[in-house]
Structure 1
Amino acid sequence: MVVWVVLFFAAVMAFALSAVAGGGAGLVLMPILGVILAPESVPAALSIGTAVSSVSRIAFFFQNIRWAIVVRFVPLALPAAWGGVLLLRQMQPAYLSLLLGLFLLGNLPFMLRGRRGVNNSQITGPQSMVWLPVIGVLAGFISGFTGAVGLLFNQFYHKLGLEKSEIVATRAANDVLLHFVKVILYVNYGMVSQATLLAGGLVAVAALAASFGMKLFLHHIPDHLFKQVGHGAAVLAGVAMMVMAGQHVVAQDQVVLQYTRQSHAVGMAVDWRQHRLSVEMEAPIELEVRHSLIAQEMQPSSNAPLQNATLSILHISPWQGVYVTRLE
């Protein structure tokens, strides 16, 4: 019971932040939902909640929607979302979450820049509209795979010269069909459980409350603060996504980092699934890089035996140069 109460209040705060940042509630909630639900259920719960959020934002800001953007964004985003859902069924989303986290961290320079050069990034005109179908494909695919896109493409909306209310309204119009299609696909592929529906319902109620507050207070927020909070929220979401995804990768792929020190050498090794990549510095000065296979029946550890395979060792020496030796 406590965990659901925590989720609700976290969702209210996330959508309140989203109201100021122009999106990103789903990305902020991903680490919290990842603790409650199975990884494959997180996108479905996010899609249920954010679909309701998009509907409420359309109702509150309908007059601010830029339909010229919507008609270029949505048509290719929908089939791309189907592709993202199909990929989600085939593999864990942890590795893509790592990449998205790194992408979000790219907002750090914009956040540190402050108010300087805010208008320099705006590029209005037909040349910006040309890229909208491409943005739609990318947003649809990533949204189908992760359940949320949020702030990933907010900078593009700024470059189109949209005001904050237009960004909120147009993003909602772009996303609402996308979320409903994804929910149908998640249900069709058996990725929605009772816990998923409960989590999605709580997120939806929190989204409604935040949307009502946004209607009252959005016009009081300065444009430069709107952008700054957006960049800051993206950075925080990126850090959270990378931490959560890193934990999943370490657990599911048995990632182990090892450090060894001997009288004549110092080395480090990383075990990943059945692979071991080791780097060793030998005296006097020679660097060795080797890849080996761990016996499948053994857990990764410094004492795990290696499979009988041909091993290649890359040597880097200031006296002998770069050369490769092979061990049978």
Structure 2
Amino acid sequence: MVFAFIALFIISTVAFALSAVSGGGAGLIVMPVLGLILAADHVPAALSIGTAVSSVSRIALFFKAIRWQITMRFVPLALPAAWGGIVLIKQIQPAYLDFLLGLFLLGNLPLLLRGHKRDSNVRDADGMRWLPIVGALAGFISGFTGAVGLLFNGFYHRLGLRKDEIVATRAANDILLHLVKVALYAIYGLIDQTTLVAGLAIAIAALVSSAVMKAWLHHVPDHLFRQIGHGAAVIAGVSMMVLAGHQITVQNNVRIRYAQRTDETELALDWRRHRLSFELENPMELEIRHVVKDRDVATDDLPRMRSSSGSIFHLSPSRGLYITPFRRPPSHPAPV
């Protein structure tokens, strides 16, 4: 476990250093690592502890660059929306939303491959009126996952903010949100000793990276700032999808099985108590079978798997297409 926290600290330091020159995204990069140490519903709490400290340090470094008119519009709806996201953690597994967010972040790949475009200073005149809605979405997603990071960076760019203004304003938007979330996570019992230690490791990493970001940020050209942000989003998206996919696979007992016998070949997908199998039988008849497995029957043996009910879709050169339902009669104990 000690090695895991050391690895978390090193990866977090690199992630927050990358976040310093991309306008965010450290939490989304660290999230897959936390998923290997903590329970899924404790990951958002650890992220919020660490990123709250990061936000404090960035406010101290870039206080003069904060766009307070944006913060005043962003925060009011973000706070109650974050509470809604935290409540939802107790109802839905975060892995499903993490997978969708990872897929959304992969949308930055075309922007990354597009290369350098001449920077534009044109501001979106309608952007300010959308800020309350953006704040509500950011608060809800942040409450559910613990981080928003780069999801809304494009919106800040459309408002015409410089890179230092993006870093400072995002920190100002996030600090109160993270503090409220940490209090709510504690109330809902989502912070234990391991979660607190992980959050403190992330917090120290954030302070280390923030100590050098002030001196280096002005050396990063604006176009490179955006490209690094797109690249970090793609990395975070891939990591989130891989981790979420693994969690979904474990939680739902997803397995792919293959069996070959003298007269047939079978490929099956298990999902909870369901099995979808494709059987190729001689002479060239395809059977697509869906079955509901018994709760008390192990399914490690593919050919001998027992089922309580299901249906079979047949595709035969001689008989055409047809469906046959079936139900296994309940077993009764032998009479004494």
Q: TM-score, normalised by structure 2?
A: 0.87
Q: Give 2:197's aligned residue.
A: 198
In the TM superposition, residue 71 of structure 1 has moved relative to its aligned partner by 1.9
Distance 1:62 1:94 in 2: 35
Q: Is the 8 A contact 1:40 1:88 kept in 2?
A: yes
Pairing 1:1-328 to 2, within 5 Å after superposition: 1-116=2-117, 119=120, 124-261=123-260, 267-280=266-279, 288-301=287-300, 302-303=302-303, 305-309=305-309, 311-314=310-313, 324-328=323-327
- Provide the rounded CA distance (Å) in 2 between the counterparts of 1:50 and 1:91: 23
Closer/same/farther in 2, CA of residues 260 and 14 from structure 1, 3 Å limit: same
Q: Is the 8 A contact 1:107 1:234 kept in 2?
A: yes
The more displaced of 8-17 and 284-293 is: 284-293
Quote the offset at 1:58 in angstroms. Answer: 1.2
* 8 Å contact from structure 2 (residues 259, 303) kept in 1: no
Shift of 1:315: 5.6
Report the residue type matching 1:154 in the other structure: N
RMSD between superposed Cα atoms in Å: 2.5
Which range moved further: 281-290 or 150-159? 281-290
Native 8 Å contact 1:280 1:287 kept in 2: yes
Structure 1 residue 316 displacement after superposition? 6.7
Say whether the 8 Å CA contact 1:298–1:304 is kept in structure 2: no
Larger CA deviation: 281-290 vs 89-98: 281-290
Q: Secondary structure at the match of 2:275?
A: strand
- Which consecutive segments of 4 or more residues in structure 1 shift more than 3 A? 116-119, 260-267, 279-290, 303-307, 312-328
CA distance in 2, matches of 1:228, 1:250: 33
1:28 to 1:284, Cα distance in 2 relative to 1, 3 A: same
**Residues 28-83 of structure 1, C-alpha deviations (whole Å, 9 max, x = no match):** 11121122222222111110010011111111112212222222221111111111
User: Counterparts of 2:167 and 2:111 in 1: how far apart (Å)?
Assistant: 20
Q: CA, structure 1 residues 266+161, in 2 after alignment: closer, same or farther (shift >3 Å)? A: farther
Match of 1:259, SS state, is strand
Output the CA distance in 2 between the equivalents of 1:283 and 1:109: 47
Structure 1 pair 35–314 and aligned structure 2 pair: CA distance change class (3 A): same
In the alignment, the residues of structure 1 paired with residue 313 and residue 126 of structure 2 have an alpha-carbon distance, to the nearest angstrom, of 48
The answer (yes or no) to whether the contact 2:291–2:308 under 8 Å persists in 1 is no
Residue-pair matches, total = 325
Residue identity in the other structure for 2:32: P
The structure having more radius of gyration, on CA atoms, is: 2
2:272 and 2:78 map into 1 onto residues whose CA distance is 35
- Asked if the contact 1:294–1:304 (Cα under 8 Å) also holds between the matched residues in 2, the reply is no
- State the distance in 1 between where 2:99 and 2:13 align: 25
- Change beyond 3 A, Cα 1:326–1:136: same
- Relative distance call for 1:57 and 1:325 in structure 2 (3 A) is same
Q: Which shifted more, 282-291 or 268-277?
A: 282-291
Q: Deviations over 1:150-181 (max 9, x none)?
A: 11111222222221111111111111111011
Q: In structure 2, what is the Cα distance between the partners aligned to 1:179 and 1:221?
A: 28
Q: Which amino acid aligns with 1:193?
A: D
Amino acid paired to 1:307: S
Whether the 8 Å contact between 2:85 and 2:144 is mirrored in structure 1 is yes
Contact 1:314-1:323 at 8 Å conserved across structures? yes
Alpha carbons 1:254, 1:300 under 8 Å: kept: no
Q: Give the Cα–Cα distance (whole angstroms) in 2 for the partners of residues 128 and 280 of structure 1.
A: 55
- Aligned residue type for 1:39: A
Shift in alpha-carbon separation, 1:327–1:298, aligned structure 2, 3 A: closer
Equivalent residues of 1:11, 1:206 under 8 A apart: yes
Taking structure 1 as the reference length, the TM-score comes to 0.89
Q: What SS does the corresponding residue of 2:196 show, helix, strand or coil?
A: helix
